[in-house]
Every structure is written in structure tokens, then in C-alpha cells.
Amino acid sequence: MESKFLWGAIGEPVYDKFVIQEKIKMLQTRRENATEEKQVEYDKKIKAAPSIKVKRIKADACVFCGKSGTIPAKDVVSSSFTNFDLMQNLTSNTICDYCACCMKNSKFRFSNWIAYNSKVQYFGRNEIGKILFFKHELPFAVYVTTSFKKLGHLKAVLNFSANNYEVQFEETKVFFQQEIMTKPWEIMGELYSIPKEEEEKKQAKSFFTKAEIRTGNYSYSRVIDYGRKKWQEKEKVLREYRGNPAFELLVYALNQEKLGINKEREKNGKRKSKSTAKRRGKADDGKRLNLSDLEVDSVGQCKWF
């Protein structure tokens, strides 16, 4: 399969471009809050940034993917790195441009993402459900994080099926079957939805909590309020899937924004600020409607390609 890269073809120094781009971003950020005198200095540094050259050594197999690499691994891999079991070539001292880009790009740790052959898209927790049931272009790899600090790209696998595929859910590999998981996802959404009488409240409560849906241990009073017969019908279906890693992933993906119950809170200005949402690894839930609108980043491609 011929690979396509946002930053150039195989063999081009894409890591140099990544380093330059990151350097410029850092300088621009610092320049914003600097004095006029300092801004002049930053302007000079920004202008000189494109001349940065990455140190390279004799070519050898990349420590992670096995492709030819010329970047010293010690310049990219942190001294605190412990996942040596994920290295394919422990005797090598080099890393390839593409693995280097992934290792140094903090978004691969701090974000949920889906990687295609020519782009990487980042998405917030509110979009996980949409991502899971979307028909993706092939091949692709998906990573969903709960800790926002793991190197998911080292464990995520490349998928060649749009309907049945693996999701790297933090440390767990989840085999996700769209057709099979559609019914429980719809039921979860109904159980986690907000009663009409709660919609106007500042802290609206759903029919059931995520913990109840996950464990099957429901509050008796909640069951009575929801309707025992209706609850029994839905719980009978969920019981068949509970314990499945895909079920756990869907519970994590549940959010009230997906169900459209935050409209009143949006009108009253109760939504979290965009900056706060980003710090917590969440997307601006009122902004993104289509998968194609999700944030796309120009990063060196991962080892899979």
C-alpha cells in the first residue's frame, strides 16, 4: 500500500518540519505576553526557526516500528519511558521521523483521536459515540483515553474493516461491532436521558446514573419512577452485553450533550467555557456537528503506515 503523508513522502525529514512548527508555536505564544522590546527578539527567533536542523546519525531500524531511522532515540524518548515491551528493536539507537513525530506530539497523549492514512482527527468525549458508529475511510486506528497521559499510538492497531474493528481504550483493546452494539447504545441513551420535569433545573438528573447502567445495580426508587415494566424490557437487553469491554466503552461515551438535554443550560449561560473544556480534554459540544468538522492536525504519520 502506498502511503500518503501530510508533511511529505517517505524519506523526507518530516520530523524537522514538526520540530520547526512546534518551535514557532511556542515562540508565538510567548510573544503574545511579552513587552515590545521582547517581541522584537521573538520575531527574530521566529524568522530563524525554519533553519533548525534535527541531529541525525547513521541509519538503523527504528526502535518502535523497524523502518529506517536516523534520529537518535535518546533525543526523542524520555528517560521516564517504561514501555520497553512496545519496542520492536531494543538493540537499535535510532527512531524514524514518523514515530518521532508521534512520540513528541503531546496531543497523542492528551486527546482522543482517530488516525487515517493522510490525517489525524482529534475529538472530545462528547463525540466518542458518533466516532464509534461512523463509517470511516480505511485503514484507520482509534484511541480513546481516560487518563490523558498514555502513549496510545504505540498500542492502537490498524483496522481494515469499517464495521468491526478494534479501539484502543486506554490500556484495553476493545473489539467493537457496530451492528451488534447499536441496540444497547440506543437503550443506554434512553436510560441516561433527562426526564422532562428535570430539564429546567440547574443540575438536571437523568433517569439512571452511569454507575447503575454499568453495574446493573439500580436504585429501586428510580426504577419505580421510570416504570418497572419499561425498565425490565431494557435491562433484559443490556444484561446480555454487560461485562463486555465494548459495553464499558459505550458507558464511558454516554453524555447528556449527545441527547440534546443541555439546550436550556446553554441559553442561560451555564455551559463550561471553551478553554475549560479543552483543558479537560473535551470538545466544544455546541460547535461540532459533522465528523469532517473535527480538529485536524498536521502530524507525522504513525508507525502503522
pLDDT of residue 246: 97
- pLDDT for 17 equals 86
What phi-psi label fits residue 165: left (phi over 0), alpha (psi between -120 and 50 degrees) or beta?
beta
Show the low-confidence residues of the chain (pLDDT under 50).
1-11, 258-293, 298-305
Report pLDDT for 264.
39
* Strand 295-297, strand 120-123: pairing: antiparallel
Q: So what's the pLDDT on residue 207? A: 92
Q: pTM for this structure? A: 0.74
Distance between CA atoms of 101 and 105, rounded to whole angstroms? 6
Q: For the chain, how far is it from start to end, CA to CA, in angstroms?
A: 9
Residue 67: all three cell numbers together: 523502518
- pLDDT of res. 211: 94
Residue 212 confidence (pLDDT): 96
What is the gyration radius of the CA atoms in the chain, in angstroms?
Answer: 23
Q: What CA–CA distance (Å, rounded) separates 19 from 10?
A: 17
